[in-house]
Amino acid sequence: MREFSPELFGSGPWNNTTTVHPIGLLMVIALGLALLLLPRRHAVVPMLIMACFVAPAQRIVILGADFDFLRILVLFGWLRLAMRRETEGFRWMAMDKVILCWAASAVVLNTLSQGSVDALVNRLGYAFDALGMYFLFRCLIRGWDDLNYTIQAFAVISVPVAIAFLIESQTGRNAFSIFGGVPEITMVRNDRLRCQGAFSHPILAGCFWASVLPLMAAQWWQGAARRTLAGVGYVMAVVIILCCASSTPVSAVCIAAAGACFYFLRHQMRTVRWALAGTLLLLHFVMNQPVWHLLARVDFVGGSTGYHRYWLINKAVENFGDWWLCGTAHAESWDPGAPYIDITNHYVLEGVRGGLLTLALLIALISLAFRSAGYLGAAVERQRDKSVLAWALGVAVLVHTTNYLAISYFGQIIMVWYLHLAMVTSLYAAVVPARQPVRARAATAGRPMVAAPVSPGRRGPHATPGVTS
């Protein structure tokens, strides 16, 4: 089954073919060595640089195993963890177990659905990305300082990325096309250039930076020294998003702004969630169309394909019996006569690839991310800087979950998705003491959590390393 238009989503002759540019080769070697040698708090930076400056066609294929350069850096990262024993003290959380189940479900069910060795190899590659990146970031990011440093790295990197996007917007040519995987001539829609730089698609480029915006904005409360850099990073990210000229990233910015405003209602979020769910349910029954028809009306920059996104959800509901068990290899039958179906909805794509179980596990991941961000915020309620940052992590996850309604993730943006999941899980593991019942965690909302005192030279059974008061 062909799920994407090659013209729109960058698939081409470089897939499953070794494609190495001399500059790309130098970068993967230099960044790989940097990942091995840099201090732990800096080790995420090579991954960010690779994602933002090397187009996705750069890859090495060995015996059918396709390693793009981000995957190669993941291998360097795991070599680092083994050499430095940085997996010691790793604390298993519910998120870690669910992401393992999700990856296994995606591999097994998609292989059964497609019935081919190629499908198995393809899903194993996606599982490698998910588990390799997520657990690498879980081991590298352990506390608030690591989190803040990574956000500052995003702010610094955003400057050259924004300059490249501005040049592309003025010339109509993409300098990153030398690597392959992105067009040399910039896409045009409704007489607007849709810049993408080294990213897989203009929409994904904008969504990538929209998901980082909440964290950079939260740096304003992390001390005067970080405000200038945070402000610069925020402006550069907005410039990049505007250069993409796509409705989805602009919608993501609006979602991020709304999510930030709800910080002042954080103690009433249970009421807010039920009110939102009730409103959507009411609209579903009073509207002439299903409530997801609202997606058809979203268009911030002109030329949006909102109706197609509504159509996808509608067809997935109508054909539930076709995909719910283990996905389907015949989704193109939803649109008879079409050579492919452009599945620009990540939730629908999860169901098509892995059935209802895989989709449910993805939703469980999202739920756990929100829950972890909420408990984390409650644990540091009296510390404004950390409270704002915990809320920003939740808003970043919110941006991804709403992006999923309008685009299917692939390419570099999956890295930032797993990074955000790892961030919220690692901070939750560091701040919330182990073996504390969920009810007890909820009862401590509004009080800062600290580790129990431990006598010098001896660690108690419930001591939590990395706790910051």
pLDDT by position in tens, the chain (length 469) = 334 343 333 445 567 789 999 999 999 999 999 999 999 999 999 999 999 999 989 999 988 888 999 999 999 999 999 999 999 889 999 999 999 999 999 999 999 999 889 899 999 999 999 999 999 999 999 999 999 999 999 999 999 999 999 999 999 999 999 999 899 999 998 888 999 999 999 999 999 999 999 999 999 898 887 889 989 999 999 999 999 999 899 999 999 999 999 999 999 999 999 999 999 999 888 988 888 888 887 765 555 677 888 899 999 999 999 999 999 988 888 888 766 788 999 999 999 999 999 999 999 999 999 999 999 999 999 999 999 999 999 999 999 999 999 999 999 999 999 999 999 999 999 988 765 554 444 444 444 444 333 333 333 333 333 333 3
Concatenated DSSP letters of 371-417: HHHHHHHHHTTT-HHHHHHHHHHHHHHHHHHHHTTT----TTHHHHH
What backbone torsions phi and psi does residue 62 show, to the nearest 5 degrees? -125, 115
* Gap between the Cα atoms of 284 and 109, Å rounded: 32
Residue 321 lies in a domain: yes
Q: Which two tokens stand for residue 184?
A: 């040399």
* Gap between the Cα atoms of 257 and 19, Å rounded: 40
What backbone torsions phi and psi does residue 68 show, to the nearest 5 degrees? -70, 170
Q: What is the pLDDT of residue 466?
A: 38
Q: Count how many residues are written for the chain.
A: 469
Q: What is the pLDDT of residue 150?
A: 96
What backbone torsions phi and psi does residue 132 show, to the nearest 5 degrees? -65, -50
Q: Which two tokens stand for residue 4?
A: 């994407």
* Gap between the Cα atoms of 224 and 127, Å rounded: 41
* Gap between the Cα atoms of 354 and 338, Å rounded: 22
CB atoms within 10 A of CB 209: 30
Which residues are CB-contacts of 417 (< 8 A; sequence separation ≥ 6)? 211, 400, 409
Q: State the helix-helix crossing angle for 45-53 and 22-37, rounded to 10 degrees.
A: 160
Chain-centroid distance of CA 24 in Å reads 24
Residue 450 lies in a domain: no
Q: For residue 297, give the DSSP letter.
A: G
Q: State the helix-helix crossing angle for 247-261 and 202-218, rounded to 10 degrees.
A: 20
Q: Which H or E run includes 62?
A: strand 59-62
Which residues are CB-contacts of 203 (< 8 A; sequence separation ≥ 6)? 244, 246, 248, 249, 406, 407
Residue 225 lies in a domain: yes
Residue 51 CB-density burial (10 A; 0-12 exposed, 13-18 middle, 19+ buried): buried
What backbone torsions phi and psi does residue 4 show, to the nearest 5 degrees? -135, 155
Q: What is the pLDDT of residue 14?
A: 67
Total domain count, the chain? 1
What backbone torsions phi and psi does residue 394 show, to the nearest 5 degrees? -65, -40
**Among 130, 123, 133, 127, which residue's Cα sits nearest to residue 352?**
123
* Gap between the Cα atoms of 293 and 302, Å rounded: 18
Cβ proximity of 326 and 355 under 8 Å: yes
Residue 466 lies in a domain: no
Which residues are CB-contacts of 402 (< 8 A; sequence separation ≥ 6)? 251, 252, 255
Q: What is the pLDDT of residue 224?
A: 80
Residue 330 lies in a domain: yes
Residue entry with tokens 């990074």: 419
Residue 218: which domain range? Answer: 93-443
* Gap between the Cα atoms of 382 and 3, Å rounded: 48
Cβ proximity of 128 and 68 under 8 Å: no
Residue 142 lies in a domain: yes
CA distances in angstroms from 326 to 2, 106, 404, listed in the order given: 17, 9, 20
Residue 163 lies in a domain: yes
**Among 344, 60, 16, 301, which residue's Cα sits nearest to residue 204?**
344
Question: What are the residue ranges of helices labelled H in 38-176?
Answer: 45-53, 69-84, 94-114, 117-140, 144-171
**Among 419, 421, 429, 422, which residue's Cα sits nearest to residue 468?**
429
* Gap between the Cα atoms of 171 and 173, Å rounded: 5
Q: What is the pLDDT of residue 142?
A: 93
* Gap between the Cα atoms of 314 and 402, Å rounded: 17
189 strand-pairing partners: 192
Q: Which two tokens stand for residue 183?
A: 């067009």
Cβ proximity of 182 and 10 under 8 Å: yes
CA distances in angstroms from 382 to 148, 448, 463, listed in the order given: 19, 6, 22
CB atoms within 10 A of CB 297: 10
Residue 426 lies in a domain: yes
* Gap between the Cα atoms of 89 and 83, Å rounded: 15
